[in-house]
Amino acid sequence: MSKLSHYVETAGAILLAIIWISPLLFAFWAAFHSTSDAVNFNVTSAWTLDNFRIAWDGAPWLKYFLNTFLLVTIVLIGQFFFTTLAGFAFAKLEFPGKNFVFILVLMQLFILPEVLIVENYAMVSRLGLFDSLFGVGMPYMASAFGIFLMRQSFKSVPIELHEAARIEGCGLLGILWRVYVPLAKPTYLAYALVSVSTHWNNFLWPLIVTNSPDTRPLTVGLSIFGAPENGVDISIISAATMMSVAPLLIAFLVFQRQFVQAFLRSGIK
């Protein structure tokens, strides 16, 4: 009986896995076949790279890739800077008003940047950052979530190391840079993976703030390229989709364990 249920469950698990991965597999298959072969599921039909060629010529993808790459880099550098300093202050320093500010920061966890699109747009325009990668990245830099994460990580550093560095004559910033930051490397890595995949995939805010191919990230470019008004057919959309998810997807498949660990670490607060 238990053997039977084991088989049933195994079958269920694998069936669900196949269903879950099938949209990706279909798109992958369609990307390498002509549209008529793809929609008729001609299993024996020839593989082709034409869809990729047509898709590549249809939009400034290289520019989009570069924009996305620069965007995630800018966001990540900004986040490391702001959250390291603030996280350290919350974790290791005592000063009046700290708890009050910390509650304000926690509140920001729920004031999603996505929701404040109207006023953030006005703010970014006011700062003259409309249609720039800085404009896209800035609202995410002082991430409350990141501050929280760094605070947790710095808190676990033993005070003895801090004291030892101080006796050696290290200033506070020196201690932060030479003791805390190196010890928090796993947290930085986890945060980086989560941040990069979040901002690689972000759409609504970049859609609002960018207005030209020179600043548009991949997701926005892809949505314009695939818009039904453009009448692009399914195989070419699949090729474009595959192209734009490839870097992150391949990175994920290679470093799967690190990705999952990163998401976990960032989730368990």
Partner 1 sequence: MSNHINLEKRRQAIYGWLMLSPAALMLSIFAFYPSGATFFSSLFSKHTRRRPSEFIGIENYNDLFADPTFWLVVKNNLFYAAITIPVSIIIALSMALWANSKIPARGFVRTAYFTPTVLPMIAAANLWLFFYTPGLGVLDQIGSLFGLPSVNWLGQPETALWAIIFVTIWKEAGFFMIFYLAALQTIPEDYKEAADIEGTSRWTYTRRIVLPLLMPTTLFILVNAMINSVKLIDHLFILTKGGPSDASKLILYYIWEMAFAFFDAPHAAAMTILILLVLCIVAAIQFIYLDRRTHYQ
Measured CA distances, 90 to 86, 100, 102 (Å): 6, 11, 7
Decide if residue 65 touches partner 1 (CB under 8 A).
no
Least distance to partner 1 from the beta carbon of 240, Å? Answer: 8
Decide if residue 56 touches partner 1 (CB under 8 A).
no
d(CA 205, CA 50): 33
Q: Which of 14, 49, 77, 164 binds partner 1 (CB under 8 A)?
A: 14
The window from 49-57, 114-122, 151-159, 177-185 that contacts partner 1 (CB under 8 A) reads 114-122
Q: Which of 8, 77, 164, 264 binds partner 1 (CB under 8 A)?
A: 264
The window from 8-16, 47-55, 69-77, 152-160 that contacts partner 1 (CB under 8 A) reads 8-16
Q: Which of 8, 24, 49, 77 binds partner 1 (CB under 8 A)?
A: 24
Nearest 5°: the CA angle 93, 98, 102 is 115
Q: Which of 69, 113, 170, 178 binds partner 1 (CB under 8 A)?
A: 113
d(CA 80, CA 77): 5
DSSP, collapsed to helix, strand or coil, labels residue 188 as: helix
Q: Which of 111, 128, 186, 230 binds partner 1 (CB under 8 A)?
A: 111
Site for partner 1 in 198-237 (CB under 8 A): 200-204, 207-208, 218-219, 222-223, 226-227, 234, 237
Q: Give the contacts of 205 (CB within 8 A, at least 6 positions apart).
A: 113, 114, 117, 120, 136, 139
d(CA 103, CA 122): 26
Which residue matches tokens 């990706």?
24
The window from 42-50, 55-63, 135-143, 177-185 that contacts partner 1 (CB under 8 A) reads 135-143
Secondary structure element (H or E) that encloses residue 103, with its range: helix 98-108
Least distance to partner 1 from the beta carbon of 237, Å? Answer: 5
